[in-house]
Amino acid sequence: MPPAILLDRPLAWREIGAIAEGAPVALSSAAEQRVREARRRVESIVARDIRAYGVNTGVGALCDVIVTASRQRQLSRNIVMSTAVGVGPALEAPEVRAIIACAINNFAHGYSGVRIEVVERLLALLVRECIPEVPADGSVGYLSHMAHIALVLLGAGRARLHGERLAGAEALRAAGITPLVLEAKEGLSLVNGTPCVTGMTALALTRIERLLDWADVIGAMSFENLHGQVSAFEPEGLNLRVSPALRRVGERLRAALAGSAILAASAGCRTQDALSLRAMPQVHAAVREQFEHACAATDAELASVTDNPVILGSIEAPRAFSEAHAVGAAMGLSADALGIGVAELAAMSERRIDRLVNPLVSHLPPFLAADSGVDSGFMIAQYTAVALVAENRRLAAPASLDGGVTSGLQEDHLSHATPAARKLLKIVGHAELILSIELLAAAQAYDLQPGSLARAPATDALYRRVRERVAEYRDDRPLAEDIERAGEMLRTECAGEL
């Protein structure tokens, strides 16, 4: 097992992504001390009867209802129980792990005021692979997903222990974790903040980083098969646009296509290619720029305190600030923008697939079929790509602009950040499949190229990687299985250095 990621300073999105995929995490002694000090400030607020939202008051529109010290445990428990209203299919384990990691990160700042026991139980869920069952739907922002995680900490709800679905109490018992009895403020802190959107966005970024590199090299394979004019990628012209990302994509495309006898033979045969081919540097770079913005926004969110209220001051003079740090507008907007970018990247990929299967532009056998007529080849695979592009277009509508008023007008603006992150993950999944279809179609096109002109060394190496996993297609098996194998490559492997 690799060494644990030490949570001393705020985690970065790559670390959240690694934890989501199984990397261990541990709390530093300095972070533990920050948690303990924040808890002492909460205890001072309780002892001094200083009004603080969710500590000794109700929540939402009930924020002016005073809750006496004798009922604050009940308040914390009731907040979790009444907020566990998620519906629909369960999130995948990596998504839940990412959310838990972000919650721990938030508490480790030292401004939430939960006991160290709460943080230790959350860490134990990760270490012992006891993953709460979290319904995916029903949150306008940040509440219900964390509530279902908190349920398991209390010995309620359901969880999967090493993949086996159990009642929450049974899962904790089998994992050797003692259920919690929540104290003042802990119920609110457990359901508050932005760990849901931040965790799921970090997971999406982990996948998108791989996908962007795959898009360049898969696009290069299609470009070569379609005898593109490589002069469109020359640095002298590309560098006139002010964009480091564009220069990087141009360099990657030139490296992927360097030494291609196919392109050397077709140089100068056309004035310019279709935009799905020659505009790859501009479009792929624009998506990379959105990706970089989302990375910065996610790291800023992880470095920020996103609880409400936040607890400052000293033990002698504690202060509770009821600010709106739990509103994840920055994350929702960046997830929406990145979703649009990834959807466009995938839409361009589908246009290249269409050119590969269309004999009028590819000059290859119709639909890349080995025996056209009897065989349909990639005809219907392109339909699948079109359907996924259309679904992405619907998903790319911004969640951040959704309306809704909750809690009796108290919460009359909603960021819908968590839904933005959820649909981003769906868009990424569709994009991975669309590019998988293009990868298979490009490999098939190489098999059907007339003559014996050599591929570029880089595209040839990628073609051989594909053929190690998937044989040439001859309508002799379900093509869906080939798409899934190619998709697994894109999800789990790097495209390779160029």
Task: Give the Cα separation of 356 and 478 in Å (integer).
Answer: 20
Pick the catalytic residue: 53, 142, 463, 473? 53
Q: How far, in whole angstroms, is CA 57 from its chain's centroid?
A: 35
**What φ, ψ does residue 92 adopt, rounded to 5°?**
-70, 155
Angle 83-405-338 (CA atoms, 0-180°, nearest 5)? Answer: 85
| DSSP letter for each residue of 58-71 | -SGGGTTSB--GGG
| DSSP letter for each residue of 406-458 | BTTTTB-----HHHHHHHHHHHHHHHHHHHHHHHHHHHHHHHH-SS-PPPPHH
C-alpha gyration radius of the chain: 26
Catalytic, 473? Answer no
Task: Give the Cα separation of 346 and 445 in Å (integer).
Answer: 19
**What φ, ψ does residue 452 adopt, rounded to 5°?**
-135, 30
Q: At what angle do helices 417-448 and 195-225 cross, to 10 degrees?
A: 20
* Percentage helix, strand, coil for the chain under 3-state DSSP, each rounded to 5: 60, 10, 35
- In this structure, the number of other CB atoms found within 10 A of the CB of residue 240 comes to 8
3-state secondary structure of 312: strand
For residues 444 and 342, is the Cβ–Cβ distance under 8 A? no
- The HSE-up count of residue 194 (CA atoms within 13 Å, CB side) is 31
Q: How many helices (H) and strands (E) does the chain have?
A: 20, 9
Task: Give the Cα separation of 338 and 340 in Å (integer).
Answer: 5
Tokens 């002069």 sit on residue: 231
**What φ, ψ does residue 177 adopt, rounded to 5°?**
-110, 130
Tokens of 300: 């800023």
3-state secondary structure of 233: helix
Catalytic annotation, residues: 53
